[in-house]
Structure 1
Amino acid sequence: MNSKHSIAVIVPGGLGAHENIPVLLGLLGRLSAKFDVSIYSFSSLEFHPSLLMASCTITTAPRLLRSNLMKAIYFIWRIRKDHKARPFVIIHGFWIMLQGVAAVLSGKILNIPSVVTLPGGDATYIPSIRYGSLSNPVHKMLAAWCIRHASRIVMLTRFQQAMMQSYGISKEQISIIPYGVDVNKFQYRPHPFSKPLQLISIGNLNSVKDPFTLMKTFSTLSRRQDCRLTVIGSDMMNGKVQDYARELGVYEKIRWEGKLKYNDIPSALSSADILLISSLYEGQAVVVLEAFASGVIVVGTNVGLLADLGDHNVTAPPGDAAALTNIMEELIRQPEKIHSLQTKNRSTAEQYSDEWTLGEYLKLYGELIALHQS
């Protein structure tokens, strides 16, 4: 007889065979070893084989339901129906709009705990680039309601929590659980800086990643040091970043890889010296831990996990290309510090491993289940 508890997980997507969010995919796969996991996905793309092998139950909304609101209503009904057949002990929504809202409403209807994880832009708003869900008054109202009524909110970083609080949305019961990385997948290969220095940027070219500051930083550094840059990620800006690189005269020094499969990222990192991050905002930036695990130095803006770690020797304010350049030049001048920094970074990656993340969620679920049953 199956003695595992059942949990319901509501996601927008990110679990496809070809398009997926690797850390979310991995987390749900590991949770399935501990729970019977029923996944309710707003996306109906072909699902990743690992979830099918993990025996997760996957439900998608009927194709005739086009709007997310109708999908949310459908899943609230479907979760209630499935709960009668095999009761859930937790309902967990990833993102607020509208997965988290559906999770909280379902929890209230069924009188069971609800958890909402906020992975990114649904907890912020950056007016200059119109990024983040909180720009919409209705979304902000729903976010505030969802956060107030969820049994527990999970955020990836304290930085993310502070950003949310700056918009007047707060909650006492918040757990900070970053996505961990598979440290066995990202092999530790510490090495002295190469000549020419090899920089890498991993992330889609979009406004929140601020690729123009990335280009400006690389341009300034390349005038002073022999260096090259590899850019990995889909172009969401229709060639504007490449045009800017041409204006700066550095286009030919950049290898534009486009989007890579996740399994190719460890190899790309293994040949890099510095991961350069220029983002205006990050909920976490999992790539920081992936670089740490690989022995790659990270220099970036003071957002997401980098802000939480608080190492001001390798971070700069968003948009400050001069400061980012100065940090890298300082590292080049002090090669004796590189190995100790690589060692410290690897230790941080091992601390925040994927198994650690699983353990934190298991503790959270156990706490909520025990509290509900008491």
Structure 2
Amino acid sequence: MQKSQTRRIAIIVPGGVGETPEGGKPLAPLANLLARIAKEFGVTVYSLSRVLPAAPLSGGPVFRLRAAPGRHGDPLPARMARLAGLLLKDHFTERYCLVHGFWAFPAGFLAVMLGKLLRIPSIVSLQGGEAACVPQIRYGNMYHPRLKKITLWTCRRAGELTALTRFQEQELRRFGLEREGIRIIPYGAEAQFYPPGEKKLLPPYRFLHVGNLTEVKDQPTLLRTFARVSREAACELRIVGPDYLNGELQSLAAELGIAGKVAFTGHLSHAELPAHYQWAQALLHTSYYEGQGIVIAEAAAAGVAIAGTAVGLIADLGESCAVAAPVGDDKMLAEKLLFLLRRPEEWENIRRNAREWALQHDAEWTAGEFLTLYQRALEGGKAVFSAGFKDFP
């Protein structure tokens, strides 16, 4: 496809595409995806968060980046209104053919509203907790009644809707979403950065966890699972990610008697992760909820066996590609891991199947799916406008 200045699209994000004055960093999978899309379309990315004027990727500016004017801490409605005004002003000189919002709210909601106003196709891509309802930690759009209503309205009224996994789609349907044609497009790994290392299944077994240390990741279940396994097999655990729990997990590791077997690295850049995937034999990921879990795709691409709770991508991959247990069930997960550690051939089959899936669904595949979706939306004409503002929340 030849890039044409007449084929311009507006992409709305809450953040994650550039460095912020407060020290925030780009989300590498999202920024890399937008860079690939920008090779085929003229792309302007509108960020609800303030961003520094530097290029979001080291290769130089590949898409135009605009941010809502204002100060840090301004109310969300004010930032949404300013960003909408900025996009509308640009549209009258650049004439966008499509508007795409990542995350249902606020970016996806804005994309649907602006698409209807400008009479251009809108796409909404679900990303994080849109389908989640975790009462014990008050997490997820489906837990909060007002946000649930806005999210479901946005999903119904988007011209095209994408989800990261079938699990995410099914959860939304469980909460009342009724629409056809939801596209499942997970983030693929940059497979060339994750070459498989030597993965002979020999003790001490090397377990890895990558993720923010937060309540939704349910790392207490992770530690309890590892503690059960470590009582019967020599093993070690490396936990990579910034600590937002103020040392609670380190204290729990000490209580469980595994502090000497668990290493907490703290925050590491995305570029530093491949070395840890090469070190690991298995990824442990025990979240309450995941829309996908990009680390699962990255670990699989690196030839690391996948184990965790049956949410997000682990739920989609199934038993042929992952070791899964219900949310919070450290006993079952540990039993399954110990069973497979004694059966290297079965372990190897699961590891190999996951890697094959990851290589077939890499970052290039993800970008190709979105480009195909754009073409479908642009060929759909004005059918996407028929719903108007019916059921506006």
Instruction: For 1:1-374, list aligned pairs within 5 A.
Output: 3-4=4-5, 5-17=7-19, 19-46=25-52, 47-50=54-57, 53-64=60-71, 66-311=74-319, 314-372=323-381
Q: How far has the Cα of 1:135 moved from its partner? A: 2.3
Q: Which amino acid aligns with 1:293?
A: A
| Offset from partner CA, 1:26-65 (integer Å, 9 cap, x none) | 1001111011110110111325442882431111111248
Query: How far apart in 2 are the matches of 1:282 and 1:88?
Result: 32
Q: Which amino acid aligns with 1:16?
A: G
Q: How far has the Cα of 1:138 moved from its partner? A: 1.8
Return 5+ residue gaps in structure 2 as ranges.
Answer: 384-393
Aligned residues: 374
Scaled by the length of structure 2, what TM-score is found?
Answer: 0.91
Q: How far has the Cα of 1:134 moved from its partner? A: 2.4
| Offset from partner CA, 1:180-211 (integer Å, 9 cap, x none) | 11110111225212421111111111111111
| Offset from partner CA, 1:160-185 (integer Å, 9 cap, x none) | 01111121123223111101111101
Q: Which amino acid aligns with 2:25?
A: E
Query: How far apart in 2 are the matches of 1:190 and 1:327?
Result: 23
* 8 A contact 1:29–1:51 mirrored in 2: no
Q: How far has the Cα of 1:261 moved from its partner? A: 0.7
Q: Secondary structure at the match of 2:175?
A: coil
RMSD value, Cα: 1.8
* 8 A contact 1:276–1:298 mirrored in 2: yes
Report the more deviating stretch, 162-171 or 259-268. 162-171
The percent identity for this pair of structures is 37
* 8 A contact 1:15–1:48 mirrored in 2: no
Query: How far apart in 2 are the matches of 1:245 and 1:2?
Result: 53
Query: How far apart in 1 are the matches of 2:289 and 2:151?
Result: 19
- Mark the CA change 1:181 to 1:229 in structure 2 (over 3 Å): closer, same or farther: same
Q: Secondary structure at the match of 2:142?
A: helix
Query: How far apart in 2 are the matches of 1:263 and 1:3?
Result: 32
| Offset from partner CA, 1:325-365 (integer Å, 9 cap, x none) | 11111121111233333322221111111111011001100
* 8 A contact 1:92–1:103 mirrored in 2: yes
Query: How far apart in 2 are the matches of 1:81 and 1:52?
Result: 29
* 8 A contact 1:192–1:338 mirrored in 2: no
| Offset from partner CA, 1:261-313 (integer Å, 9 cap, x none) | 10111100101111011111100011111111111111111110111122176
Q: Secondary structure at the match of 1:36?
A: strand
Q: Which amino acid aligns with 2:43?
A: V
Report the more deviating stretch, 65-74 or 18-27. 65-74
> Match for residue 389 of structure 2?
none
Q: Secondary structure at the match of 2:108?
A: helix
> Match for residue 388 of structure 2?
none
Query: How far apart in 2 are the matches of 1:258 and 1:104?
Result: 38
* 8 A contact 2:163–2:185 mirrored in 1: yes
Query: How far apart in 1 are the matches of 2:58 and 2:49?
Result: 15
* 8 A contact 1:115–1:150 mirrored in 2: yes
Query: How far apart in 1 are the matches of 2:38 and 2:61?
Result: 6
Query: How far apart in 1 are the matches of 2:382 and 2:147?
Result: 33
Q: How far has the Cα of 1:126 moved from its partner? A: 1.0
* 8 A contact 1:190–1:294 mirrored in 2: no
Scaled by the length of structure 1, what TM-score is found?
Answer: 0.95
Query: How far apart in 1 are the matches of 2:152 and 2:229?
Result: 43
* 8 A contact 2:197–2:279 mirrored in 1: no
| Offset from partner CA, 1:79-100 (integer Å, 9 cap, x none) | 2221111111110011122111
Report the more deviating stretch, 27-36 or 121-130. 121-130
Query: How far apart in 1 are the matches of 2:356 and 2:246?
Result: 39
